[in-house]
Amino acid sequence: MPYAYETDGAAIYRQSFAMIRAEADLARFSPEEEPVAVRMIHAAGLVGLAQHIRFTRTFASEARRALQAGAPILCDARMVTEGITKARLPADNRIVCTLHAPETLDLARTMGNTRSAAALELWRPHLAGAVVAIGNAPTALFHLLNMLEDPDCPRPAAIIGCPVGFVGAVESKAALWTDQPVPCVVVEGRMGGSAITVAAINALASGTE
């Protein structure tokens, strides 16, 4: 006997977001933050994620403004770049991932660091006013924070700092939240990942849910 299930994609989204809003504690999020948080929760499949999401006060407005102005999106991993819905981008924004650039491996050896961290050195020409999306590597987030210690380093408009894992993930996100060099969002603890990071970008990129 065939299974009966919802086959309308738009209806699935509507029902999913309605369930999240019914079950999650979203009261502390501003009207600009709430749809971003809802999409992040949806991507994780975890209502309890709400209690771990932290936005700086101007993050949502600054990130949206940057995207609308055509800012590039700098991603630490291909899993992030591939998840961004390009049709939602407001200004045909350029999506940049330098992890697999030919020079990245040699840079990593010279620096004595991971490829994920070394790849950020290739972001420098694109960094000013960009939206940064780190959803995989804690070493990338740590290296970005070290780069931004230099007053001559270009400043991004906003940082989505959601690396996932057991080594360095908690610490790198705590460091971003403590330093707050620019407006940012983090998912506290070990949780995070590319899907959650992509969800934040897609929510920020378009006014429609």
Q: How far is CA 146 from CA 44, 79, 121, 141, 183, in A?
A: 29, 24, 11, 9, 16
What SS3 class is residue 151? coil
Distance, in Å, from the CA atom of 80 to the CA atom of 165, rounded to the nearest integer, reads: 16
| Active-site choice (42, 52, 100, 143) | 42
Residue written as tokens 């998912």? Answer: 187
End-to-end CA gap in the chain: 35
109's enclosing H/E stretch is: helix 104-111
Q: Would you call 42 a catalytic residue per the annotation?
A: yes
Residues with catalytic roles: 42
